[in-house]
Amino acid sequence: MKKFLSILVCMLIFAGTNVYAGSNWGLFFPKDGERPRGNATAEYLAQYDAYFIGSGNEKILYLTFDAGYENNLTSGILDTLEKHDVPAAFFLVGTYIKNNPELIKRMVDEGHIVANHTMTHPDMSQINNREAFIKELSQVEGHFKAITEKDMPKFYRPPKGIYSETNLKLAKELGYKTIFWSSAYKDWEDTNQPSKEEAFSKLIPRTHPGAVILLHNTSKTNALILDELLTRYKEMGYTFESLNHLTG
C-alpha cells in the first residue's frame, strides 16, 4: 500500500500538476541523460522570471554553488574554475558575504556571479509579508555593495528550495530572477560527505543539456572532484555559460 501511494503521489506531481504554495523544489529523472521534470513546469516558472533548466537544444551547463558559511575550500574551488575558464554563480547568505570580503572580491574580479541566498536562510514560504521579504534580500545587497561598491546581480535562490507562489511574485517585483536547479546530489552534510565514486555516480548520469547544477562549496568532496568533474563534462561535449545566458 505504501508503494502504491508513493507512485500515486509521483503521478499527481509529474503529470503536469504544479505544486505551488509552500513547496519543496523537487525533480524526477525519467532516465539517465534525459532532462528531468520539476514539481513546477518551466512554463509556469517563466511567468515569474524563475528558472530551473536551460534550453535542451544546446549542450550547455550552468554551474552554481550554495553556501551559508566558509570552511576554507572556496579558494581552491576558485582556482579550479579559473584553470578551466568556467563561470559560476555563488548563492550566498548575508553573513557569508559580510565575513569573507576578500573571497567576494575575488569572485567578482574573476567574472563569477555573487547571488542572493537571503540574509538568515529562513523557510521563505512562510514569509508572505512584503516588507519582511524585502528585508531578507536587501540586507544581503547591502553587504555586497559595502564590499564591492557595486549593485548585487539580481539572482535569488530560496534556501533549501522551499518556496511559494507569493515568493515568486515578490522576487519578480523586486527585479530578481529566481533560480532553482535540475541537477544536484546530497553533498551538504559535513560529517557525512559522499565518496568520490558516489559523487560521480550521481552527477554524471544525470547530466543533460541545459542543466543548472547545484553544488555546495562547503563540500570537501566537491573540492576534491571538481577538477575531474569539469574535465569529464567537457569530454562529454558540454560547455559552460553564466546565469545571464540562461535568463536571456
191-235 pLDDT per residue, tens:
999 999 999 999 999 999 999 999 999 999 999 999 999 999 999
If one compares 4 and 45, the residue with the highest pLDDT of the two is 45
17 pLDDT exceeds 70? no
Q: Are 93 and 160 in contact (CB under 8 A)?
A: no
227 part of the active site? no
Pick the catalytic residue from 117, 121, 143, 216.
216
Candidate list 49, 66, 112, 117, residue with the active-site label:
66
Higher pLDDT: 15 or 167? It is 167
pLDDT of 2 strictly over 90: no
pLDDT tens digits, one per residue of 81-99: 999 999 999 999 999 999 9
Whether 66 sits among the annotated catalytic residues: the reply is yes
pLDDT given at position 174: 97
Bridge partners (DSSP) listed for residue 60: 239
pTM score, two decimals?
0.91
* Share of residues in the chain with pLDDT > 70 (%): 91
Q: How many CB atoms lie within 10 A of CB 105?
A: 13
CA distances from 218 to 74, 186, 193 (A): 7, 12, 10
Q: Which of 88, 79, 86 lies closest to 232 in space, CA to CA?
A: 86
Least confident of 43-47, 125-129, 143-147: 125-129
Residue 128: pLDDT band with limits 50, 70, 90: confident
**Grid cell in block for residue 123:** 523557510
pLDDT-derived band at 22 (thresholds 50, 70, 90) equals low
